[in-house]
Structure 1
Amino acid sequence: MTHPMTRDALAIRHVPFEDLGLLEPLLRARGFRTSYLDVPVEPVTPEAALEPDLLVVLGGPIGVYETEAYPFLGAERAAVAARVQAGRPTLGVCLGAQLVAAALGADVVATGRKEIGYAPLTLTAEGRDTVEGRDTVEGRDTAEGHDPVLAPLDGVRVLHWHGDQFAIPEGAVRLAETPGFPNQAFAIGSHVLGLQFHLEADHTQIERWLVGHAHELASAGIDPAGIRSDAAAYGPALAEAARRTFDRWLDQSLGAVRP
């Protein structure tokens, strides 16, 4: 069944190879037009962030706090803040999740260590069970229950690629953890989801990541051959779990009907 192209999804992108990946065909199947705003070279405003039906803020190899080196981050953070405060559906991935957290007043810091590669994710009790999130957008203070969106990921090896860590924003629910990084995902009601890991990454395109992050891998002493091998071994199962997870969140945040 084909849906009319009546809704828009905008992805804020920082580097070309960290794109919507697995999420893009899911959105198109639901009748979305997808487009990119390459924020390092294109202006981002609160108005631009508020306009689309869905905003996805993607990852990148810089830190939220590096505003002196990368001034566009200040405008991007303001645009994301306008979006989440308006209660509009927003998905943040890695740097994107850190921007969402920072926009909500939570700290984002460099940890001095790296978590790179495919490794298991553990859901918190709230992540496994029905979640009670508090919605404080625009002065509202109402409890909102919603299904365990990340349930398909419990124990699954996901792709990690970060060294920074966000604190859980006030009013958000912590959903997932790993031994070295206890804050891996958070949700605010059904309209905001922040993921520290790369659920969107297509394992068949992992070579783009290995080349794009070659310097970081070398600096961290990580052999790209290991990530390449793990992508082939764990990528297909992760892709299926990712699709199920995104479908759950899209159903809740957008009320979208599956094809």
Structure 2
Amino acid sequence: MKPIRIHYLQHVPFEDLGCIEQWITQNHHPSTVTRFFENDELPSLSDFDMLIVMGGPMGIYDDKEYPWLTEERQFIRKAIDANKTVLGICLGSQLIAHAMGAKVYPNREKEIGWFDISLTEQGHQSRLLEGFDETFPVFHWHGDTFELPAGAHHLFQSEGCVNQAFIRDHVLALQFHFEVTPESLNEMVKHGKEELTDGKYIQSAEEILAHQQLIPQNNDLMFTILDRLVSNVF
């Protein structure tokens, strides 16, 4: 695999690249980061080939509390328009959907914990997901969801949230967390305990941490998707 220049956007210390960092290192991809919580500057569009937008507990319109969101939304739109490869995870997926003209809004239920996702009809047809199981568990932590942008292919759905993932050309949005590691899982639970209330699709901290055996499979799927995405296998 030819090395590509990767830049990623990180919103909070406890939602980092997870297993994506291992993939970057193993494939010798040079990487840079904008940590908004440290007031880092955004790069020039010419400085990277792929943009990865990570998750976070804020909503995409929480500009009053997080003023950098305004600039970030504009930056993501410019990266997409410049035909960069773009991957968004959770909050990142919602920011991408917004940048592509789709509505982002509160889902009817929060989804926090290990719950199944299933391939859609378009997901079955996608070369990106060739060989994936029909249904399998992934880790979720989101309250908002998005409509599908015009021309996007709907890839995954769940019982609690219909629009779990989409792809359009070189842009991929995932509501869930393939990238989670034991370390990042513990950090997310530690910093988000107040959200673990009663809910149809909300697990307790104990339930979440009891399913860490699912992490290696999720990470392997993340690696497969990354390999295919940068090789233009859609």
- Is 1:206 matched up with 2:202? no
Distance 2:130 2:95 in 1: 21
Distance 1:23 1:154 in 2: 24
* Post-superposition CA distance 1:70-96 (Å, at most 9, x none): 221110000000000111111000100
Q: 1:10 to 1:154 in 2, by over 3 A?
A: farther
Q: Residue 209 of structure 2 aligns to a residue in which SS?
A: helix
Distance 1:74 1:56 in 2: 17
Deviation at 1:28, TM superposition (A): 2.0
Unaligned runs of 5+ in 2: none
- CA RMSD after TM alignment: 2.3
Residues 1-259 of structure 1 mapped to structure 2, 5 A cutoff? 7-45=4-42, 48-111=44-107, 113-130=109-126, 147-149=127-129, 151-152=131-132, 154-189=134-169, 191-203=170-182, 205-218=184-197, 222-232=203-213, 234-252=214-232
Q: Residue 232 of structure 2 aligns to a residue in which SS?
A: helix
Distance 1:192 1:214 in 2: 32
Deviation at 1:27, TM superposition (A): 1.8
Distance 2:63 2:9 in 1: 17
Q: Residue 180 of structure 1 aligns to a residue in which SS?
A: coil
Scaled by the length of structure 1, the TM-score of the pair is 0.81
Distance 1:210 1:201 in 2: 12
Distance 2:134 2:230 in 1: 19
Distance 1:186 1:50 in 2: 26
1:57 maps to amino acid:
V
Whether the 8 Å CA contact 2:158–2:164 is kept in 1: the answer is yes
Which moved further from structure 2: 29-38 or 71-80? Answer: 29-38
Scaled by the length of structure 2, the TM-score of the pair is 0.89
Deviation at 1:148, TM superposition (A): 3.2
2:11 maps to amino acid:
H
* Post-superposition CA distance 1:89-128 (Å, at most 9, x none): 1100010010011011111011252101111111111111
Deviation at 1:240, TM superposition (A): 2.3
Deviation at 1:182, TM superposition (A): 0.7
Whether the 8 Å CA contact 1:28–1:34 is kept in 2: the answer is no
Which moved further from structure 2: 155-164 or 67-76? Answer: 67-76
Count residues in correspondence. Answer: 232
Q: 1:50 to 1:168 in 2, by over 3 A?
A: farther
Which moved further from structure 2: 163-172 or 219-228? Answer: 219-228
Distance 2:77 2:31 in 1: 21
Deviation at 1:58, TM superposition (A): 0.2
Which moved further from structure 2: 113-122 or 63-72? Answer: 63-72
Distance 1:153 1:250 in 2: 22
